[in-house]
Amino acid sequence: MHPNTELANRIIQEKLLGSTVESFGLTHQFLTLTFRDKNADDHTIWIDTEVTSKSYPFQELNLDETGAALLLFNSVNLKEVVAIQCNDEATLEIQFDNGIHIFFAGSPAEESMIEPWSLGTEMSNAASSIIATHGGGYIIFEGRQDM
């Protein structure tokens, strides 16, 4: 595993494992999922990639990609994250306590999606960000104290 992948997984798991989906929607034309952890800190994933799920058949509905993703996000609203991981190709997988798995593609078919997803968090005067890059790899900013 690439060293940045290990660091990205450590941060993602530290921030999101055990958290619940607090809200979801569209912000500035990006899909977003916001999680609240046990310390009442919020963490937002910004999504500009293909969203899929093997455990929820939303793809079979006659919806556009955004509508289908929002319907999927509604199925995990207020649900707890029980597993989360990313891989060397920057694909992110989240499993929720209701059995739903969501995947954010790290290598979307549309190559113009150069940052398929990112996680931003602010807490206790420290901020962290993880930006997944198309095809793999991460840009990581951790624990800035200048907030």
> In this predicted model, what pLDDT tens digit does every residue of 95-140 receive, in sequence order?
999 999 999 999 877 766 689 999 997 655 556 799 999 889 999 9
The 10 Å Cβ neighbour count of residue 4 is 18
Q: Tell me the percentage of the chain whose pLDDT exceeds 70.
A: 88
Residue-level pLDDT at 44: 95
Closest CA to 58 of 5, 29, 100, 2: 100
- Exposure string of 52-67, with b = 16+ CB inside 10 Å and e = fewer, is bbeebebeeeeeeeee
Q: In 3-state terms, what secondary structure has residue 8?
A: helix
pTM of the predicted structure, to 2 decimals: 0.89
Return phi, psi of residue 6, to 5°: -60, -45
Return phi, psi of residue 68, to 5°: -65, -40
